[in-house]
A and B are shown apart, each in its own frame.
Chain A
Amino acid sequence: MKKINSKPEYYRYLLLFVLIWGKGYAQPLKYNSVRDERNPVYAFTQATIHVDYETTLHNATLLVEKDRILSFGNSVAIPKEAIVINCTGKHIFPSFIEMYGSYGMPEVKHGQRGGTPQYESSRKGAFYWNDAIKPDVSASLLFNYNEQAAAELRNYGFGMVNTHQKDGIIRGSSTVALLGSDKENKQIIKEKAALHFSFNKGVSQQEYPSSQTGAIALIRQFMYDAEAYNNAKEKNEINLSLQSFNELKNLPFIMETTDKQEIFRAASIAKEFNTSFIYKGSGTEYQRLQELAEIKARLIIPVVFPQAMDVSNPYDADMVSLADLKHWELAPSNAAFLQKQGIEFAITADGCKSSKEFFDNLYKVVHRGLSKQALLKALTYTPAKMLGIDNKAGCLKKNFLANFIITEGEPGDKEFKIYEHWIAGKQYVNDFQAFLADLRGNYRISAKDVQFIDGKKLTITGKKNQYKATLHITDSTKLIIDLKQEKTTVNGNMYSRALGGFVRFNFQYDTSGIWNGWMIHPNGKIFPVSVEKTHPFEEKIEENNDDDTILPGPILLPLRAYGFLQEELNGLSNKSYLIKNATVWTCEKEGILEQTDILLENGKISKVGKGISAGKETIIIQGTGLHVTPGIIDEHSHIALSKGVNEAAESSTAEVRMADVVNADDINIYRQLAGGVTTAQLLHGSANAIGGQSAIIKLKWGRTAPEMLFPNAPGFIKFALGENVKQSNWGDNYSIRYPQTRMGVEQFYYDMFYRAREYGKNKDKNKRKDLELEALWEILNNKRFITCHSYVQSEINMLMKVADSLGFTVNTFTHILEGYKVADKMKIHGANASTFADWWAYKMEVMEAIPHNAALLTRMGVNTSVNSDDAEMARRLNQEAAKAIKYGNLSREEALKLVTLNPAKMLHIDHRVGSIKPGKDADVVIWSADPLSIYAKVLYTFIDGELYFSRERNNELTERDNKEKNRLIQAMLKAKNDGEPTIPVMRKEYWLYDCEDIHVDEVELLQIEP
């Protein structure tokens, strides 16, 4: 299939190439007049020519013939037939290239929301099954020349746009179009330039995917499908989407991101498929510079910055977060930081509302330290290279497209003006004032018949084209003349009380400095007047006041309250600690040891005992009166996840992975460190019978998401039973997804596992990798473990029987509020239990929950833990565990194990964490009192021997952040005072996920009881 198709493709490119260079085919032109073809040579002389971002020639000449550059240089012979344009004092730059536009694309419209959910594709035709996957969409087919939009973009300095329809997850190919006013045939210079991706499903109404983790899985599955389609000798069906993707897969891939973390998410997809992305950035890239450099990211960055907020009301100012304040201050430095880090980037005007805003922001970027050379590179060379058109665009060398701008000033200057824009050799005048003579200077007026003004001095100052003309009658009497300049004439008017009204002038001028004309007296009589230049204008160079600009504050990792400085973070490792004379809760058979020392070295617990001595470098912590426990492990958490905890669209979403969307910036990571939590299992929600794969993380605040992932942790997956899966509390529209009853749930499981078994058994024969069945096949082979959200005993029993019959074990039942009723069966099956301490009564299926559950299960020999499923409760898990003493009489030691060793066991990580034992990870918490009493607070939290939280440092940071916040508020007030527009402050709500949150495309949010 590919062979047949690739030939016309090749010819198409060839054709296009030929067309552009004017030697081959061009369709016959139809005239509704006589033929009118003109091909003059233009010579732009005396200009400062920026041939490319590195080369600048002064007093140089540029020769243009038809649509291309003929030559350039300081000693170019100007052909006789050339039309000469004197560009004295002006710059010529190659036109900018917009990497990320949607010029000429039809508008994408949202359909009606609400109503019955759409589970299947609504696109008609032989396409992929998901509405958000449209590699077959070709911008070149959609492209419609639009003069108004083109003219607007020319004002930005763009000579061409890489344009595509910004909708969907795989959005199809973009096309590179010139911004001239010819027919589309002449505008498109590269029919298929890049393939565009995003994590946003756009206007698709199909339920799937409803989260970012789903979007990522969808991209991966699609790419596996494309591979399989390509490799299949015989195709059982035609799929135009897969076919298109395979045809286009050698194009550059461009991925739109909305946060720097998404870059790393996309990068891991690229790695999996041995490809790479160019990332359309969000302006937050500076927040992870080191890591971006490590993956050699190539970026397209916007230059829109957050607006200052109106913080003049102190109440309002209180509501602004440090994160927002810091981003406001640092965002304009993004490009400069990237340059310094050596990261390749192009600049897009995407998001700018006007060319003025664009140029102002370019000025800000340069002011913050981006070199002008780098700026020009990012606007010309880099995009041309990224698009593979650097052999014809991006500089002004011979035979390149004659795409250039004639300007005053350089991009990044405070005053930057584009006078003319030439595209493919065609002139587009932006500002007709450009080539007018400079009128500024001192003049003497001769008006024999009007004594009042005769011999008087006229001064013209101000900016070019914004003249300020003053007529000096006497030293104290000055009249202002409103002057208007045209190509050869000047006219003006002024009010004179002495003459009794408005006086009007008309002059005709040339370069000699003499104006001849007449004035119309207020009484209507006309008198001849002439004006002669006596002194040329002397520009006063304004003092640069910008030097006093305060440098932006430091970057925090993450960029919010309690963030680390890079050097602090680097300094966390390679330290050893000795905790002396503490009460140590080992959670091992040694039990609770009084007056005991613990040595933490190289990230591990190296010694536990009495009288341990330490090296000179070791930091000693006096533990007298303090208690030490293993780090707390939260078996069920939904913190630190981006854009959706549930991929709720289908009854099975085994293919999605929470590890793909770990959000390292979540403040709850820090808050939970303050509660002694060191490890958490981030679970998919409970919206479907088979949910997504979990991520087990260590709460290493300040680090990136990949750095937080628990190394070599076994694979887990969320399952769910009961009301959520049946959509019982979702409202009346959600009543069609199978299953809607507990009866259906059982059959659904069987169906999925039978399919997985078939898939697994035929794996060698299978060409197609199925991410969903792959995960289920792993379960069947005991390589992936289930954490199943469950409440009532019937369904717990049911799932164990399903598992028994298929030969695997349900690893963990989570919530498991009626676990106490089937504890004997769970014991036999070999399941673990992870429960709430005392929650109940929030829905029907929890009405028989009892707080003695954890104790009873433990007594029955079921390995049991207490979890949070709640960002607040997680920071008090020690207290939740202590409730098992109150309800059910567990011993204090047993109770502590509910949140340490037991969850470690059920997560199969007890060889690394969960107890205090030499050789285990140094995940250790020091408490002020008995950790199972309400009076204990965390003093220190170590993870892998690194001190991520301490009470003293916490207090210092509070102070540090208060100061920094105050400084930034001052800066914002100054910005307002300096006339910057501001936006009102609003209180930001941070959405905390629990397992019932369904994140629908960032717009609708459906919350159900847990």
Chain B
Amino acid sequence: MKIILIVLFTLCNFYLSLFSQRPAPAPPQQKGILITNAFIHTGKGDAFIGHVGFQNGKIEFLGTANTKPPKYDTLIDAAGQHLYPGFILLNTTLGLREVDAVRATRDYAETGEIKPEVRTVIAFNTDSKIIPTVRNNGILIAQPTPRGGIIPGQSGVIHLDAWNWEDAVIRMEDGLHVNWPSRIRKYYPWDEQNESSNYFQKERQLKLQELRKIFEDARVYHVKQPVVFNQKLAAMNGLFTGEKKLFLHADFENDIIEGVMFFKELGVKEIVLVGGYEAYKILSFMKNHQLPVILKRTHSLPGYEDDPVDLPFKMPFILDTAGLLVSIDYSGDMEAMGSRNLPFTAGTCVTYGLPYEKAVQLITLNAAKILGIDQRVGSIEPGKDATFFLSNGDALDMSTNKLTHAFIQGRSINLDSHQEALYRMYMSKFGLKE
């Protein structure tokens, strides 16, 4: 009877995984698990063969191959497999968009220029069909980020496996984003060169004035108990205590310098640079201000025609070598569905100079530090969340990245997706076997 039930259950499961929209979120960790003999990439810049034990969602034990681990209910022999902390996807609209061309599915850009009050987490769609496809490549944490305008709003941090956003949330509001009004006007070959250059600069000054005004007002609002509640200003409170970070989106050297000085002067405590295409040109400035950077997708074309063809590939190496806290994102074209390639964009950094474990660190511990969640996640250390995964091969290489297990707070994630289901369905239709 028991066997029949198990068979039925398995069949049922198979049926579900074949046709369901998305795999069900994993239940909380019930039993202690010990992973043995894995090649552990700690996320802190080192790696070794060893064992990891975790219980109640937390890592309890970490030891090298020689150490003898305590006893656990479940044992996973991971010999030959790689273990990485869950990769972290920064600055993304994953979960805020589903079908790019369909307006009804786009939820990342609120109307208006200055919108500090809006926050992404409550709009984050845990049921997005895109999420499993991203998660299955090792990305377990994301920072849904708003877009558009001078102040797009506030980002948050979530786990990529949850029934709803309340379950998913790690940080509700981790920071405020600012698209720095650039001094540089873009123009296309068919634009009149001289036309409205002055107009552009004037418009820009007005934008900066507006930006200064809201930050000044927010600082005052923060200092003195306000008479009238103001949602916009209240949302900015944390910037002056360091509780929230300011994510400064800027690419050009002068914009970066201008932006950083602007916010320092206004009393903003924590600034993170996002984009930073020309940060490599002002390393001493970056260093003096200990500015963390989230570099744009490394798989990008050079920003200028004359730039070295490999520049975007090398950028993390250059900045890391300079001693900066560096991470990378996958923002840009096709960013939600394409973000499953984040690990490979880190792999490219290795090809162009960055040591391998540093490349892992870019999208694990460094990203966690930038998000202010490194006490909980980002590395394989006892006491931290059991948020990591096992891959059959090198996870930074697309030809070998193949997850066997993934855990978020110890919960064993279902690594299926509607794409896998479709694949199986048609393999079966045509009588093909793996």
12 more contacts with CB within 8 A, not counting A842-B101, A847-B99, A883-B398, are A318-B304, A671-B302, A671-B309, A843-B102, A847-B129, A851-B133, A871-B301, A933-B399, A934-B350, A965-B306, A988-B189, A989-B189
Residue of B nearest to A560 (CB): B305
Cα(A674)–Cα(B310), bound, Å: 9
B187:A989 contact, CB within 8 angstroms: yes
Chain A residues with CB under 8 Å of B400's CB are 885-886, 933
Please list 6 pairs of residues, one from A and one from B, whose beta carbons are closer than 8 Å in the complex, sorted by A's number.
Answer: A322-B305, A561-B306, A934-B397, A983-B193, A984-B197, A991-B188
A872:B299 contact, CB within 8 angstroms: yes
Asked whether any CB of chain A lies closer than 8 Å to the CB of B76, the reply is no
Residue-by-residue, is A308-323 near B (CB-CB < 8 Å gives 1, otherwise 0)? 0000000100110111
B306:A321 contact, CB within 8 angstroms: yes
Asked whether any CB of chain A lies closer than 8 Å to the CB of B71, the reply is no
B402:A824 contact, CB within 8 angstroms: no
B101:A843 contact, CB within 8 angstroms: yes
Cα(A838)–Cα(B342), bound, Å: 13
A988:B187 contact, CB within 8 angstroms: yes
Question: In the complex where A958-B308, A986-B185, A986-B193 touch, is A841 in contact with B98 (Cβ < 8 A)?
Answer: yes
Residue of B nearest to A935 (CB): B351
Residue of A nearest to B401 (CB): A886
Chain B residues with CB under 8 Å of A989's CB are 186-189
Chain A residues with CB under 8 Å of B341's CB are 838
Looking at the assembled complex, report how far the CB atom of A767 sits from the nearest CB atom of chain B, in whole angstroms. 40
B334:A839 contact, CB within 8 angstroms: yes
Looking at the assembled complex, report how far the CB atom of A262 sits from the nearest CB atom of chain B, in whole angstroms. 14
Cα(A823)–Cα(B422), bound, Å: 14
Cα(A842)–Cα(B430), bound, Å: 28
A987:B99 contact, CB within 8 angstroms: no
Asked whether any CB of chain B lies closer than 8 Å to the CB of A84, the reply is no
Residue-by-residue, is B175-195 near A (CB-CB < 8 Å gives 1, otherwise 0)? 000000001111111110110
Chain B residues with CB under 8 Å of A988's CB are 186-189, 305
B253:A315 contact, CB within 8 angstroms: yes
Residue of B nearest to A932 (CB): B399
Query: A674, A841, A885, A934: which contacts B396 (Cβ < 8 A)?
Result: A934
Among the stretches A403-411, A781-789, A1001-1009, the one at the interface with B is A1001-1009
Closest 8 pairs (CB-CB, A-B): A934-B347, A843-B101, A841-B337, A1002-B190, A561-B306, A882-B399, A842-B100, A852-B423
A876:B299 contact, CB within 8 angstroms: yes
B350:A321 contact, CB within 8 angstroms: no
Cα(A313)–Cα(B115), bound, Å: 33
Chain A residues with CB under 8 Å of B102's CB are 843-844
Residue of A nearest to B257 (CB): A315
Chain A residues with CB under 8 Å of B187's CB are 986-989
A872:B300 contact, CB within 8 angstroms: yes
A882:B190 contact, CB within 8 angstroms: no
A315:B252 contact, CB within 8 angstroms: yes
User: Which among A876, A879, A887, A936 has the highest number of chain B CB atoms within 10 Å?
Assistant: A879
Asked whether any CB of chain A lies closer than 8 Å to the CB of B73, the reply is no
Looking at the assembled complex, report how far the CB atom of A174 sits from the nearest CB atom of chain B, in whole angstroms. 27
Cα(A986)–Cα(B185), bound, Å: 6
Asked whether any CB of chain A lies closer than 8 Å to the CB of B6, the reply is no
Cα(A882)–Cα(B344), bound, Å: 11
Looking at the assembled complex, report how far the CB atom of B329 sits from the nearest CB atom of chain A, in whole angstroms. 16
Chain B residues with CB under 8 Å of A1002's CB are 189-190
Asked whether any CB of chain B lies closer than 8 Å to the CB of A12, the reply is no
User: Which among B187, B191, B252, B423 has the highest number of chain A CB atoms within 10 Å?
Assistant: B423
Asked whether any CB of chain B lies closer than 8 Å to the CB of A961, the reply is yes
Query: B100, B301, B402: which contacts A671 (Cβ < 8 A)?
Result: B301
Query: A840, A850, A935, A990: which contacts B397 (Cβ < 8 A)?
Result: A935
Cα(A850)–Cα(B278), bound, Å: 36
Looking at the assembled complex, report how far the CB atom of B328 sits from the nearest CB atom of chain A, in whole angstroms. 14
Asked whether any CB of chain B lies closer than 8 Å to the CB of A517, the reply is no
Asked whether any CB of chain B lies closer than 8 Å to the CB of A820, the reply is yes
Asked whether any CB of chain B lies closer than 8 Å to the CB of A552, the reply is no
Query: A674, A851, A928, A992: which contacts B309 (Cβ < 8 A)?
Result: A674
Residue-by-residue, is B119-159 near A (CB-CB < 8 Å gives 1, otherwise 0)? 00000000001100100000000000000000000000000
Looking at the assembled complex, report how far the CB atom of A825 sits from the nearest CB atom of chain B, in whole angstroms. 11
Asked whether any CB of chain B lies closer than 8 Å to the CB of A821, the reply is yes
B186:A851 contact, CB within 8 angstroms: no
Residue-by-residue, is A659-694 near B (CB-CB < 8 Å gives 1, otherwise 0)? 000000001101100100000000000000000000
Chain B residues with CB under 8 Å of A990's CB are 189, 305
Chain A residues with CB under 8 Å of B310's CB are 674, 937
Looking at the assembled complex, report how far the CB atom of A908 sits from the nearest CB atom of chain B, in whole angstroms. 27
Residue-by-residue, is A964-1000 near B (CB-CB < 8 Å gives 1, otherwise 0)? 0100000000000000000110111111100000000
Asked whether any CB of chain A lies closer than 8 Å to the CB of B432, the reply is yes
Asked whether any CB of chain A lies closer than 8 Å to the CB of B404, the reply is no
Residue of B nearest to A324 (CB): B305
A839:B337 contact, CB within 8 angstroms: yes
A879:B398 contact, CB within 8 angstroms: yes
Looking at the assembled complex, report how far the CB atom of B276 sits from the nearest CB atom of chain A, in whole angstroms. 15
A823:B397 contact, CB within 8 angstroms: no
Asked whether any CB of chain B lies closer than 8 Å to the CB of A859, the reply is yes
Query: A888, A937, A1003: which contacts B190 (Cβ < 8 A)?
Result: A1003
Cα(A885)–Cα(B401), bound, Å: 10
Chain B residues with CB under 8 Å of A494's CB are none
User: Which among B130, B334, B351 has the highest number of chain A CB atoms within 10 Å?
Assistant: B334
Chain B residues with CB under 8 Å of A847's CB are 99, 129
B344:A856 contact, CB within 8 angstroms: no
Residue of B nearest to A884 (CB): B399
B399:A839 contact, CB within 8 angstroms: no
Cα(A795)–Cα(B102), bound, Å: 21
Looking at the assembled complex, report how far the CB atom of A626 sits from the nearest CB atom of chain B, in whole angstroms. 14
Cα(A936)–Cα(B398), bound, Å: 12
Asked whether any CB of chain A lies closer than 8 Å to the CB of B254, the reply is yes
Chain A residues with CB under 8 Å of B253's CB are 315, 318
B184:A986 contact, CB within 8 angstroms: yes
Residue-by-residue, is A929-964 near B (CB-CB < 8 Å gives 1, otherwise 0)? 100111111000000000000000010001001000
Chain B residues with CB under 8 Å of A821's CB are 426
Cα(A872)–Cα(B102), bound, Å: 25
Looking at the assembled complex, report how far the CB atom of B265 sits from the nearest CB atom of chain A, in whole angstroms. 20
Chain A residues with CB under 8 Å of B100's CB are 841-843, 1009
Asked whether any CB of chain B lies closer than 8 Å to the CB of A481, the reply is no
Chain B residues with CB under 8 Å of A839's CB are 334, 337-338
B189:A882 contact, CB within 8 angstroms: no
Cα(A31)–Cα(B132), bound, Å: 93
A856:B336 contact, CB within 8 angstroms: no
Residue of A nearest to B251 (CB): A987
Residue-by-residue, is B415-434 near A (CB-CB < 8 Å gives 1, otherwise 0)? 00001001100110010101
B193:A670 contact, CB within 8 angstroms: no
Chain A residues with CB under 8 Å of B133's CB are 851
Asked whether any CB of chain A lies closer than 8 Å to the CB of B348, the reply is yes
Residue of A nearest to B419 (CB): A850
Residue-by-residue, is A864-906 near B (CB-CB < 8 Å gives 1, otherwise 0)? 0000000111011001001101111100100100000000000
B427:A315 contact, CB within 8 angstroms: no
Chain B residues with CB under 8 Å of A883's CB are 398-399
Cα(A315)–Cα(B129), bound, Å: 44
Looking at the assembled complex, report how far the CB atom of A433 sits from the nearest CB atom of chain B, in whole angstroms. 35
Looking at the assembled complex, report how far the CB atom of A837 sits from the nearest CB atom of chain B, in whole angstroms. 9
Asked whether any CB of chain A lies closer than 8 Å to the CB of B244, the reply is no
B399:A892 contact, CB within 8 angstroms: yes
B101:A729 contact, CB within 8 angstroms: yes
Cα(A885)–Cα(B397), bound, Å: 11
Asked whether any CB of chain A lies closer than 8 Å to the CB of B340, the reply is yes
A1009:B101 contact, CB within 8 angstroms: yes
Residue of A nearest to B332 (CB): A872
Query: B184, B193, B348: which contacts A934 (Cβ < 8 A)?
Result: B348
B399:A895 contact, CB within 8 angstroms: yes
Chain B residues with CB under 8 Å of A850's CB are 419, 422-423
Residue-by-residue, is B90-129 near A (CB-CB < 8 Å gives 1, otherwise 0)? 0000000011111000000000000000000000000001
A889:B186 contact, CB within 8 angstroms: no
Question: In the complex where A321-B306, A842-B101, A984-B197 touch, is A872 in contact with B399 (Cβ < 8 A)?
Answer: no
